[in-house]
């Protein structure tokens, strides 16, 4: 349930409500907005009637949460969540473009790509060090060496690094090098990993599973937030349907749906969502029009020689052209492309 405090409620009023709830076995989460303070209470509502809480000083009302996910819901927090990363704000007016290769292949490749995507307008660098692949014989990534090369590319460009963590065992080293930890589609319901991600202070990009409903996606985010980390970015990356022309079916309706149901920022991965570079630009434009807070785009300086996902990677020329198109679309929606960091 949600306890909505009166705007005149004192800190002592809030403290006593939290103490009462926790004494009855509820876990509590405090959300202090501009005009309202809300206390989310997770537990068995039969243990303490809502009317008993409503009678306490400073309480305006008690509202039951109807969705199975609690903390990520709009019922718990009406205002959009924003995530601060140095001087960047994700989930506000700015639209962020996270770009880079599917996989880190060499020092020269990742540093040259980082410099190029920054010059074109990207605000963050993506790159896989640990690569979950369908075939055990495919390139699995440079692993720890890849993480070190990403960190070196960050030093060269000041772009924050986004990279994927595949399991609990590798989380400590990934979070040591990454600015944002990505959870891939195959790990969206790796509940042990999700719980562990709740204990770190880094933001987390949570990709939607390839066969997951929006509710399951939000419940996965709930695992992370319930474990203590509210800095979550949802990422729609396409779902598996009967269609096989595209790699996945990019569900852009999930963007406004997720933003209607949840206060978390939502970004889109049109590269994995389509699997075809020719479709990345039009679906990127559509994602921004649908309300996405950012894009996760694969860019390779020579896609024909990429060790993974070459067919869905944009060339630098195509990426630069796309940034120009997005810069025109964003103001129509009263938004703007975020500016890259300065060295």
Position 1 confidence tier, pLDDT thresholds 50, 70, 90? confident
**CA distances to 69, 75, 106, 297 from 148, in Å:** 37, 41, 11, 21
Residue 163: which of 151, 320, 90, 113 has the closest Cα? 151
Note if the pTM is more than 0.85: yes
- What residue spans of 136-190 are helical by DSSP H? 144-157, 168-177
3-state secondary structure of 68: coil
3-state secondary structure of 161: strand
Residue 4 structure tokens: 């909505």
Please state, in angstroms and rounded to a whole number, the distance separating the CA atoms of residues 255 and 80: 14
Residue 51 located in a structural domain: yes
* CATH number (domain holding residue 211): 3.20.20.70
Residue 32 burial (CB count, 10 A): 12
Contact call for residues 180 and 162 (beta carbons, < 8 A): yes
- Could you say which of 63, 95, 112 is where a domain stops? 63
Residue 343 located in a structural domain: no
* Structural domain range at position 105: 83-337
Q: Are residues 193 and 323 in the same domain?
A: yes
Residue 74 located in a structural domain: no
Please state, in angstroms and rounded to a whole number, the distance separating the CA atoms of residues 176 and 202: 10
What pLDDT does 133 receive?
Answer: 65
Matching residue, tokens 């009263």: 334
Residue 77 located in a structural domain: no
How large is the average pLDDT for residues 88-115?
97
Residue 8 located in a structural domain: yes
Q: Are residues 50 and 88 in the same domain?
A: no
Residue 127 located in a structural domain: yes
* CATH number (domain holding residue 10): 3.30.70.1140
What are the pLDDT digits (tens) for 281-314?
Answer: 999 999 999 999 999 999 999 999 999 899 999 9
Q: Are residues 316 and 266 in the same domain?
A: yes
Q: Are residues 169 and 21 in the same domain?
A: no
Q: Are residues 142 and 202 in the same domain?
A: yes
* 244 vs 78, higher pLDDT: 244
What are the pLDDT digits (tens) for 50-75?
Answer: 678 999 999 999 988 778 898 999 98
Q: Are residues 164 and 227 in the same domain?
A: yes
> Does the pLDDT of residue 137 top 80, yes or no?
no
Residue 71 located in a structural domain: no
How large is the average pLDDT for residues 143-152?
95
Domains held by the chain: number:
2
Q: Are residues 54 and 199 in the same domain?
A: no
Q: Are residues 43 and 112 in the same domain?
A: no
């Amino acid at each position: 349930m949600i306890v909505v405090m009166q705007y005149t409620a004192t800190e002592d009023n809030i403290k006593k409500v939290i103490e009462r709830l926790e004494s009855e076995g509820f876990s509590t989460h405090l959300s202090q907005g501009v005009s309202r303070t809300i206390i989310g209470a997770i537990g068995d509502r039969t243990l303490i009637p809502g009317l008993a809480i409503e009678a306490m000083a400073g309480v305006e009302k008690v509202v039951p949460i109807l969705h199975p996910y609690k903390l990520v819901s709009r019922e718990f927090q009406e205002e959009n969540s924003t995530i601060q990363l140095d001087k960047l704000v994700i989930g506000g007016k700015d639209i962020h473009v996270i770009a880079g290769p599917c996989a880190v292949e060499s020092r020269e490749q990742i540093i040259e790509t980082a410099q190029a995507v920054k010059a074109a307008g990207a605000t963050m660098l993506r790159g896989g060090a640990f690569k979950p692949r369908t075939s055990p014989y495919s390139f699995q990534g440079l692993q720890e060496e890849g993480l070190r090369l990403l960190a070196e590319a960050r030093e060269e460009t000041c772009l924050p690094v986004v990279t994927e963590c595949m399991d609990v065992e590798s989380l400590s080293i990934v979070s040591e090098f990454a600015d944002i930890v990505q959870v891939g589609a195959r790990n969206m319901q790796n509940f042990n990993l999700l719980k562990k991600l709740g204990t770190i202070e880094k933001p987390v990009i949570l990709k939607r599973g390839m066969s997951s409903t929006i509710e399951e996606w939000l419940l996965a985010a709930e695992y992370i937030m319930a474990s203590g980390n509210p800095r979550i970015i949802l990422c729609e990356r396409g779902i598996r349907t009967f269609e096989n022309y595209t790699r996945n079916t990019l569900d852009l309706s999930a963007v406004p749906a997720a933003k209607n149901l949840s206060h978390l920022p939502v970004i889109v991965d049109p590269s994995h969502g389509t699997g075809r570079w020719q479709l990345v630009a039009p679906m990127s434009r559509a994602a921004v029009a649908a309300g996405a807070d950012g894009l996760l785009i694969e860019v390779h300086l020579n896609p024909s020689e990429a060790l993974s996902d070459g067919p869905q990677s944009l060339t630098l020329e195509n990426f630069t052209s796309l940034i120009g198109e997005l810069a025109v679309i964003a103001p129509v929606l009263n938004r703007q492309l975020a500016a890259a960091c300065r060295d």
